[in-house]
Structure 1
């Protein structure tokens, strides 16, 4: 049975409203996933029926309707604060058709991670073009212990904390040294000089562990990176 949901968050982001506006409208590949919206080069309102509100740099609303009362609504309100920071008030509302509690729990936890990644992008990589890559782990990464296996492969121990540094090897990429910027039972966020590396424990919500990374190095080969991380995940869970 379908049922409505609403997720609300308020976060402080280290950046200006203009930087945050660019991130949530045109640069989503740098912290979440690529947007299907085509933003005109001059930053004007896209010619899309899903744009509900377009008030740069303070208010963005996206609304999609579907059959049988289905809808999906996203809203960002950005307010400048002192010391080059801003408050972002975020709303995600819509309808879940099945397994409401599990879907809501997963969406809520993903929201916290995405908004954290927004802050990391604006603070460290604002305005930089990103190559977005993703890869899904094998069936073995869908077990309850899968995230513990992943953390071990990343060099994350029981005493590892945010702001610690980890080092691990990825075939085809060599040794990666990264700062831990997010860490809990469901997600791992790592930051290097030219990437945000995101690891999702979707095994907790009926899926597999997977990765979605944001590469800022010039000339990054997305296909090769995706294949490389897929191979790494397969090896971790072999």
Structure 2
């Protein structure tokens, strides 16, 4: 491979988002440092100092609670990425009752840049939306987290459409919530055909978000980027069982893709 070809593959990226949320800066800080299982996945809390260790072998390069956090890794451990940095800037609004957040994800992708960048940007929007849902409805309750992937057939280009149909959001299933708008109360068909009452808090061709009284259930159309469809469950019930949630939704997802 020529140096020019290598340089074309190894390209820097930056994904920046800004939003406000009905939570104090301190609550946002707690979520991004110790409560990641509530909206992302459980991670090792960063060591509270510049130079401290953080998840996946990364390093804290800025630590100013509750306003500025930067975590950086130059040994990401993935063949498609060589540098990864996450920055949060948090400011108070409405005398501390709300917070403004600027989030910047940057680094270097080393392969298939366009596909990696598109996937990272769209996942960022969904994860940050889930962060706002967590802060607004569930924080600081403890969370039980489960995540799972569909079978190989769920990598097909149209696979995520089957998820919407199976939930009853697109005319099939027993939920009767076809055509529901984001923010609407819906009845969806969950594991073992159980009808679940939820709010459809997010929906686009790539992701579906459901919020029940005790959980955030997230559906990921990663087939758009060549990976299997995924499901994550952030369960805030006192008696939540991660393994039971995993098995129930794995059975549901496998069933979606075993239908004719």
When the two structures are superposed, what TM-score results if normalisation uses the length of structure 2? 0.84
More strand per residue:
1
**2:257 is aligned with 1:237:** yes
1:131-170 correspondence to structure 2 within 5 Å = 131-157=144-170, 159-170=179-190
8 Å CA contact 2:83, 2:109 repeated in 1: no
Counterpart position of 2:218: 198
**2:30 is aligned with 1:22:** yes
- Structure 2, gaps ≥5 residues long: 1-8, 171-177
Detail structure 1 runs of 4+ shifted over 6 Å in the superposition.
Answer: none
Counterpart position of 2:72: 63
Superposition RMSD in Å: 2.0
**2:91 is aligned with 1:91:** no
| Distance in 1, Cα, partners of 2:127 & 2:150 | 20
Larger Rg: 2
Number of aligned positions between the proteins = 234
- Higher relative contact order, chain-length normalized (CA < 8 Å, sep 6+): 1
Counterpart position of 1:101: 114
Secondary structure, counterpart of 2:107 in structure 1: strand
8 Å CA contact 1:19, 1:122 repeated in 2: yes
- Structure 1, gaps ≥5 residues long: none
Secondary structure, counterpart of 2:86 in structure 1: strand
Counterpart position of 1:212: 232
When the two structures are superposed, what TM-score results if normalisation uses the length of structure 1? 0.92
Cα shift at 1:91: 0.6
Q: 1:171 aligns with which of 168, 176, 191?
A: 191
